[in-house]
Structure 1
Amino acid sequence: MAGTQEAQTRPVKDWLRRLGTRIGLGIAVLGLGSCTPTSRPQLPVALNSYYTDEQPAMSGDGRFLAFVSNRDGTRSILLYDLQRKQFAQLPRLNRKDAIAETPSLSYTGRYLVYVASDRGRPEIELYDRITQRTQVLTGGYRGWVRNPNISSDGRYVVFETGRRGQWDIEIIDRGPGIELDRPNGS
């Protein structure tokens, strides 16, 4: 009697096992689809994700968060607006031929400095969100550079340099003629 009952339930168990495998494969395929690199995240979007996000820097007013991410298949600097809960556009900042790292923001996030490496040589670059232009600050500079940090008003950039065969600290004064980053233009 036990053998016939087991024989009757075997087709049901086999069917359930096949159904579970199909459902499991469907979930696995859906999971793989969500890890595929896409263009810039859609707006609005949550800050945290399944991507590698690192090297965060916050603007002085606490509104913007810059960080390095691989969300679109390459290491790029992203800027997240914490008030609007969406990513800010950074036209012409991230280049496919360069690796960007260690961002730093001025007070309102107008100026962003970072290290960009193309052709194996790191340079400190400054991006102005108003003009949407990038300026190389250490072009032709002798020695290695790393870890830039911009003052809250955007005038000074401090960084580490290996110019003398050891890590030292240097400061770039962008000059009195630049437009300073001040809250509400004050």
Structure 2
Amino acid sequence: MRQRFITSALLLCFVVFGCSQNGIRPMSRVGASLRRSAESRRLPSMGQRWLASLANRNGRERVELIDLSNDTPVPLNGIDQADSQTISLSVSGDGQRIALIRQREERTELMLYRRNVSALQRLPINPPGVPRSVSLDGNGRLLAVQVSRRGRWDVDLIRLP
């Protein structure tokens, strides 16, 4: 009986103290590498071994994809344009697709970047609306988009080819 009590008490302590916020810490190796490579970062999105975010260097924000297996940035040729600002992004599980919403001149656009062909394509929103936030599923085949239409927020699900 006493052994069962001690075991239960130890288990309870482990659960209470092991799951406390003191046990949650950033991954120091990756965090240090990310801080060295940019002045600031925002809009993080995780794939299986990928981290996509907006990295700010010298006052310019760029979409950046990091391969977390070796802490190296992956080239994203053609994804950033000088006359646009990214306001939301999401990466697929395999890191091959990045969905993003960007503000360009007076338009807000939904875009899909396919890394294997370095292609950025605009995706139409039907019925028309203003996209605000985007989320890709792990396979990169289903896209959820928060859209404003006539003063109301909707979420559109879009199946990608």
TM-score tier by shorter-chain length is 0.7 to 0.9
Letter in structure 2 aligned against 1:112: I
Please point out which of 82, 85, 89 is paired with 2:71: 85
Deviations 1:9-52 (A, max 9, x none): xxxxxxxxxxxxxxxxxxxxxxxxxxxxxxxxxxxx92124612
2:146 to 160, 163, 168: 160
| Runs of 4 or more consecutive aligned structure 1 residues displaced over 6 Å after TM superposition | none
Counterparts of residues 129-144 of structure 1 (less than 5 Å): 129-138=115-124, 142-144=128-130
Secondary structure at the counterpart of residue 42 of structure 2: strand
| Structure 1 counterpart of 2:131, one-letter code | V
Contact 1:106 1:151 in 2 (8 A): yes
The equivalent of 2:98 in structure 1 is 112
What corresponds to 2:114 in structure 1? 128
Give how far 1:101 is off.
2.7
Residues 31-180 of structure 1: pairs in structure 2 closer than 5 A: 46-49=33-36, 51-59=39-47, 61=48, 63-138=49-124, 142-174=128-160, 178=161
Report the CA distance shift for 1:124/1:72 in structure 2 as closer, same or farther (over 3 A): farther
Task: Give identity over the alignment, percent.
Answer: 26
Contact map agreement 2:50 2:93 (CA 8 A) in 1: no
Task: Tell me how far apart the structure 2 counterparts of residues 163 and 145 of structure 1 sit (CA, whole Å).
Answer: 9
* Equivalent residues of 1:68, 1:102 under 8 A apart: no
Indicate the SS of the match to 1:152.
coil
Aligned-pair RMSD on alpha carbons?
1.9
Letter in 2 for 1:47: L
Question: Please, what TM-score do these two structures have when normalized by structure 2?
Answer: 0.73
CA distance in 2, matches of 1:168, 1:80: 31
TM (norm. structure 1) is 0.64
Corresponding letter in the other structure for 1:133: A
Larger Rg: 1
Matching residue's letter, 1:68: L
1:88-145 alpha-carbon deviations (Å, 9 max, x no partner): 1100011111111321111111000011111121111010010100111136862211
Gaps of 5+ in 1: 1-44, 179-186
Contact 1:68 1:101 in 2 (8 A): no
> Which structure has greater strand proportion?
2
**Residue of structure 1 equivalent to 2:7:** none
For the 8 Å contact 2:88–2:102, the answer to whether it is kept is no
Unaligned runs of 5+ in 2: 1-31
Aligned to 1:145, what secondary structure does the other structure show? strand
Letter in 1 for 2:34: L
